[in-house]
Amino acid sequence: MTALSAEPALARWGFSEWVESARRSGELIATPELDDRNDAVISINGRKVVNFAGIGILGWQHDPDVRNVFVETAMNYGLVVGGSRVVQGVARPHLELEALVAEITGRQKALTYATGLLANVGFVHAMSARFSFNDQPGVDNADTVFVLDRDSHWSMWKAVERFKFGRNLINFRHNDIADLRQVLENLRGRRVVVGFLTVYSDGSMAPVGEILDLCDEFGAVSFVDDANGFMVYGNGGHRFAAEYEELRRATFLMVSFGKSIGLGGGALAGPADALDAFRFLSGTSVFTTNIQPPTAGAIVHVLRRMRQDPSVMERYLDRVDRLRERLLGIGCTINATPTYVTSISVGSNHTAVRVRQDFLDRGYLVPMFGYPAVNKNQTVIRLMVNNRLSDEHLDGFLDTLAELKQKYEF
């Protein structure tokens, strides 16, 4: 039988050639196929591997009580709502979760979405919608200008893809207040949304207060993607407390439940009227399903426990600080801002492919972030260390890293 990609029409897309050349260069890495659950140690084809690639940092997803809540909620509310928010509705666990997120973030209201990515897409869609239920005038925000930090997440760039660059989409240099000011100067009189992250994928942190000051000065709406920082910071901890205090001034917040909570899903939080409109205007609350009820119930349980006892996160962050010190001790170049996201510079793709494979051969799965997550040939090992890794796992990782650093001179 002929391979599908060899079919004449599809051949023009070049997939076969691309796959073949990426396979030759080693960049078409094999997807880890897990024999059982994702944890600090995983099994791939019967082989135990220490896992540095997971993003559920505190390991709540393995907590017996969290799993029990998941099962109980599934029994009470079913596995799915069975349709989108607008058509089929939401279950009580969603409403509890939304009330809790609104309370934690200090916003009037929150809306859940199946993933953080869909919350971002929905936000952009709603803020630029032209819509009316009937012949009467409705909302018309099609001329909204999005001003995004250049290092915004892929989901934001995907969401604004249909905007015309220079007309209703403009970027500013990463964390560069002077550049943002200049952009906003040129947009006076327009309806502007300034979008940025708290914690970036390279581990940097936004100058939250300064950006929000500029939004106030220029009358812009602010949108902050807090997927990475939600419940890591701002829950009474001392790290980045000033930034998270300022964050309460942002008009809209997006959070993800994949990192600190270890589960899945996302939410938007902000002014009540706007979020009521978003139920209809965001598209991703109309044309796709929401978080599964048992997951929503389990998130509520985790959030309550994290609020009750913030010391769990503090102890985790202490561990990350010690790891950073040890990385510097073996001469690694890491991100300057001490967030929990640690980027270890490796450099060229060529080196990165070999370092990743050598790690794997020695029993470590490390997340290597190359283009398009970072600039070409500025590949990094991007760690969101999992708290279920033991000190011995961390020692082994550091010893291996020191050895490979010498071997490949990065």
Ligand X SMILES: Cc1ncc(COP(=O)(O)O)c(C=O)c1O
Residues that bind ligand X (CB under 6 A): 115-117, 120, 153, 155, 197, 225, 227-228, 256, 258, 266
Nearest distance from C-beta of residue 3 to ligand X, angstroms: 33
For residue 375, the one-letter residue type is N
Gap between the Cα atoms of 282 and 148, Å rounded: 19
Nearest distance from C-beta of residue 390 to ligand X, angstroms: 25
For residue 126, the one-letter residue type is A
Q: Where are the alpha helices (DSSP H) in 111-186?
A: 116-127, 154-159, 177-185
Nearest distance from C-beta of residue 300 to ligand X, angstroms: 17
Q: Which is nearer to ligand X, 53 or 401 (CB)?
A: 53
Gap between the Cα atoms of 29 and 19, Å rounded: 11
Gap between the Cα atoms of 132 and 176, Å rounded: 38
Gap between the Cα atoms of 99 and 85, Å rounded: 16
Nearest distance from C-beta of residue 308 to ligand X, angstroms: 24
Nearest distance from C-beta of residue 198 to ligand X, angstroms: 8
Q: Which is nearer to ligand X, 218 or 270 (CB)?
A: 270
Nearest distance from C-beta of residue 197 to ligand X, angstroms: 5
Q: Which is nearer to ligand X, 130 or 158 (CB)?
A: 158
Q: Which is nearer to ligand X, 120 or 222 (CB)?
A: 120
Nearest distance from C-beta of residue 258 to ligand X, angstroms: 4
CB count in 10 Å sphere of residue 405: 17
Nearest distance from C-beta of residue 410 to ligand X, angstroms: 25
Q: Which is nearer to ligand X, 149 or 410 (CB)?
A: 149
Q: Which is nearer to ligand X, 90 or 404 (CB)?
A: 90
Q: Which is nearer to ligand X, 225 or 243 (CB)?
A: 225
Which letter does DSSP use for residue 232 in this model? T
Asked if residues 196 and 227 have their Cβ atoms less than 8 Å apart, the reply is: no
Q: Which is nearer to ligand X, 302 or 404 (CB)?
A: 302
Q: Where are the alpha helices (DSSP H) in 160-271?
A: 177-185, 208-218, 241-246
Candidates 401, 406, 259, 261; CA nearest to 334 is 401
Gap between the Cα atoms of 74 and 225, Å rounded: 29
Candidates 119, 120, 189; CA nearest to 148 is 120
First to last CA, the chain: 46
φ and ψ at residue 32, rounded to 5 degrees: -60, 125
Nearest distance from C-beta of residue 243 to ligand X, angstroms: 15
Q: Which is nearer to ligand X, 343 or 351 (CB)?
A: 343
Candidates 120, 373, 148, 91; CA nearest to 256 is 120
Element (H, E) at 146: strand 145-149
Q: Tokens 């970027």, residue?
A: 171
